[in-house]
C-alpha cells in the first residue's frame, strides 16, 4: 500500500502543477472569454488547496528531530533566493523597486506560508482534540479577513485562510483516502466536478474570484462585514468539495508521469519566468486573437515536462537548493562519455 500511496500522491502533485502553470498562462486572458473565466475560477477552487492538503498530510513527522531544519532548508533557502531574483528583475523593469524579504513576490507566498503552517501545527497539536483544532483554525481563517491590513506581508492572509486546509491534511490518515477510492465514490466525485464547473459557468459572480485567492481583507473585497464570514465559510465548503472530488479521481497506480510528481517544487519556482517571457512574445497576441486557449493547456503540459526533466533539475539545483553535486556528477559523466 505504501508504494501505491506514494504513486497516488505523486500523480496528484503532477496533475496539480500542470493546473498551476495552466492557471498562470490563462490569467491574462480570463476576461476575454466566459468559458475561460469559468475554467480559471474552477481550477483555482482546488488546485492550491489540494497541494496544501497534501503538504499537511506529509507533515506528520513534525515532532521528529531535524524536521524543521529540513523545512527551513528546503523552503526558506529557495524562497530567499527567488525573492532576490524577482527583486532584481523588478528593479530592472521598474527602476524603483525596494527589497522586502517578507513580502513575497507572486508564487513565492506558498513557500513562506508552508513554513508558517508547520509552525502553526506545532502550536495546534497542543489542543489535542481534532474537532477543537479544526474549529479554532476555521475561526482564525474567517476572522483574519476582518483585519484591514492583512494581506501579502508575511503572506499572512493566505497563511491564515488556507491553514484549515493544511491542518485537515495533517489530521487525515491513509484510511481516509482509501475510502474515496471506491468506484461509486469516484463516479460521484466526477459528477460533482462537472456539476461545479457548469454551476460556475452560469452562477459564479465575477467579483468572487478574489475570494479564491485569499489574499485580501473583507474591506478590500468590498463585501459587507456582516455577511463576510458566511461567504468565507461557503468558500471553505466549495474548496473542500472540489478538493476531495479531485483527490478521488486521481489514479492510484504508477503512471508514466508519476516520478515527475516528486519534482513539482522546481516547476513551481521556475515556470513564472517562462509565463512572463510568453507575455512579451508574439505568441501572446496570437493566442488572444485566435482565441485558441486550448493551446495554453498543451503549452502548460510541455513546460511542466521540460522543467521537471532531469537536465533542468541538474542545472537548477545549485540555484534552488545551493547544492552542486548533481551538476558535478552530470558534468563528470558527460566528460567521461566524450573521452
Per-residue pLDDT reduced to its tens digit, 126-154: 998 999 999 999 999 999 999 988 767 88
Residue 75 CA to residue 72 CA, distance in Å, equals 5
Q: Please give the model's pTM, rounded to 2 decimal places.
A: 0.91
For residue 25, which of 289, 298, 245 has the smallest C-alpha distance?
298
Contact assessment for residue 54 and residue 9, using Cβ atoms and an 8 Å cutoff: yes
Residue 179 CA to residue 21 CA, distance in Å, equals 30
CA distances from residue 334 to 310, 316, 318, 324 in whole angstroms, order as listed: 14, 17, 18, 15
Residue 224 CA to residue 207 CA, distance in Å, equals 14
Q: The C-alpha cell of 121 is what?
A: 501545527
Cell 503572506 maps to which residue?
Answer: 155
For residue 281, which of 264, 296, 265, 266 has the smallest C-alpha distance?
296
CA distances from residue 149 to 117, 123, 155, 204 in whole angstroms, order as listed: 20, 24, 12, 27
Cell 498551476 maps to which residue?
Answer: 20
Contact assessment for residue 272 and residue 24, using Cβ atoms and an 8 Å cutoff: yes
Can you give the pLDDT of all 339 residues of the chain as single tens digits? Answer: 455 558 999 999 999 999 999 999 999 998 888 999 999 999 999 999 999 999 999 999 998 889 999 999 899 999 999 999 999 888 887 777 777 888 899 899 999 999 999 999 999 999 989 999 999 999 999 999 999 887 678 889 999 999 999 999 999 998 888 889 899 999 999 999 999 999 999 988 877 888 999 988 999 998 888 999 999 999 999 999 999 999 999 999 999 999 999 999 999 999 999 999 999 999 999 998 888 899 999 999 999 999 999 999 999 988 887 764 444 554 455 445 544
Amino acid at each position: 500500500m505504501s508504494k501505491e500511496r506514494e504513486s497516488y500522491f505523486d500523480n496528484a502533485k503532477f496533475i496539480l502543477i500542470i493546473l498551476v502553470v495552466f492557471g498562470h498562462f490563462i490569467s491574462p486572458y480570463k476576461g476575454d472569454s466566459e468559458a475561460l473565466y469559468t475554467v480559471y475560477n474552477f481550477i483555482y477552487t482546488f488546485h492550491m488547496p489540494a497541494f496544501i492538503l497534501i503538504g499537511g498530510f506529509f507533515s506528520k513527522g513534525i515532532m521528529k528531530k531535524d524536521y524543521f531544519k529540513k523545512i527551513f532548508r528546503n523552503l526558506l533557502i529557495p524562497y530567499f533566493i527567488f525573492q532576490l531574483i524577482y527583486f532584481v528583475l523588478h528593479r530592472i523593469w521598474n527602476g524603483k523597486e525596494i527589497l522586502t524579504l517578507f513580502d513575497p513576490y507572486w508564487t513565492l507566498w506558498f513557500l513562506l506560508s508552508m513554513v508558517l503552517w508547520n509552525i502553526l501545527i506545532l502550536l495546534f497539536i497542543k489542543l489535542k482534540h481534532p474537532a477543537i483544532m479544526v474549529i479554532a483554525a476555521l475561526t482564525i481563517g474567517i476572522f483574519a479577513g476582518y483585519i484591514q491590513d492583512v494581506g501579502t506581508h508575511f503572506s499572512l492572509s493566505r497563511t491564515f485562510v488556507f491553514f484549515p486546509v493544511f491542518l485537515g491534511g495533517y489530521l487525515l490518515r491513509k484510511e481516509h483516502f482509501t475510502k474515496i477510492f471506491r468506484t461509486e465514490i469516484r463516479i460521484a466525485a466526477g459528477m460533482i466536478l462537472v456539476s461545479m464547473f457548469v454551476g460556475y459557468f452560469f452562477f459564479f459572480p465575477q467579483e468572487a474570484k478574489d475570494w479564491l485567492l485569499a489574499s485580501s481583507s473583507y474591506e478590500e473585497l468590498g463585501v459587507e462585514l456582516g455577511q463576510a464570514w458566511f461567504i468565507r465559510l461557503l468558500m471553505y465548503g466549495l474548496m473542500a468539495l472540489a478538493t476531495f472530488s479531485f483527490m478521488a479521481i486521481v489514479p492510484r497506480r504508477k503512471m508514466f508521469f508519476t516520478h515527475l510528481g516528486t519534482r513539482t517544487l522546481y516547476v513551481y519556482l521556475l515556470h513564472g519566468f517562462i509565463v512572463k517571457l510568453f507575455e512579451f512574445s508574439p505568441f501572446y497576441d496570437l493566442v488572444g486573437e485566435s482565441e485558441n486557449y486550448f493551446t495554453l493547456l498543451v503549452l502548460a503540459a510541455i513546460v511542466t515536462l521540460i522543467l521537471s526533466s532531469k537536465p533542468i533539475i541538474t542545472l537548477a539545483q545549485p540555484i534552488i537548493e545551493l547544492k552542486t553535486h548533481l551538476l558535478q556528477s552530470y558534468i563528470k559523466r558527460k566528460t567521461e562519455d566524450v573521452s
